[in-house]
Structure 1
Amino acid sequence: MALQWLILTYVVAAEAAVAILLTLPTPKLLRDRFASLVSLILQPALFIVPFAGFQLLDIYWKNEHRLMCTSEVCTAAERDRYEKSIYKAQRNVILCVTACLLYWSISRICKYQKEIQSLEEGEKRIKSH
């Protein structure tokens, strides 16, 4: 199970780096080329959305079937283990949601870059005539 969360963590880190690179002020040619490269990668990278969704379902199922340790019968070690598992689940939910939001943000940024590029090309055609 830890491998899945490690993969998701690396994907979120890569998505965050790409989002930062897309939004940095760079020369127009470099920005357009990078946006077109990222838009080519977006479709194969769509796997992250169902992967994160499956992880969310797994967290939900485990939460529904988790043994509660809130009574006086539990030892301190059991209570600590229970609280640690709750915190891990909360962290993993944030990771899944962040992965989906970053993917959506990157796709919207690339779409806006393409629209800006096509509008600039149309403006050049109008000015040249």
Structure 2
Amino acid sequence: MFKRILIVCVGNICRSPTAEYLFRHHLASAGVSIESAGLGALVDKPMDPTALEVLGDHGVDGVAHRARQISASMLRDVDLVLAMEREHVNRIARLAPEASGKVMLLDRWNQGADIPDPYRQSREAFDHVYSLIDRGVNAWLPYLRVS
């Protein structure tokens, strides 16, 4: 059973917090701890305004988010790490080799594709990335719900 999940991207202001808050929305009563962090986090920054708007348009509030930098101890303390890109998986493995076995792509149950970074792009790019993240989150839910 995965009780503590960490979601990782680069800046921790677009993709990983979007996934974090979507998971929290779906798993609110499941007793699962969902957090996010960045490989090059914009520490203490809120979600990107466009990412926050897109999330809000889907009924999820991410206004409380503040970006955090990933650490080896964070990786050791969680049961599952979900990354947005293969390169993130590789970087996490270099940071904490002992955590490698619990690091997977968010898109694992779909095509196993990288989810691109929409930072500083159009609203359409954010909408597209949201749809990819939503698809990834929904594919993970059957594996995370408590029976």
TM-score class, shorter: under 0.3
Structure (1/2) with the larger helix percentage? 1
> TM-score, normalized by length of structure 2?
0.22
Q: Which has the larger radius of gyration?
A: 1
> TM-score, normalized by length of structure 1?
0.25
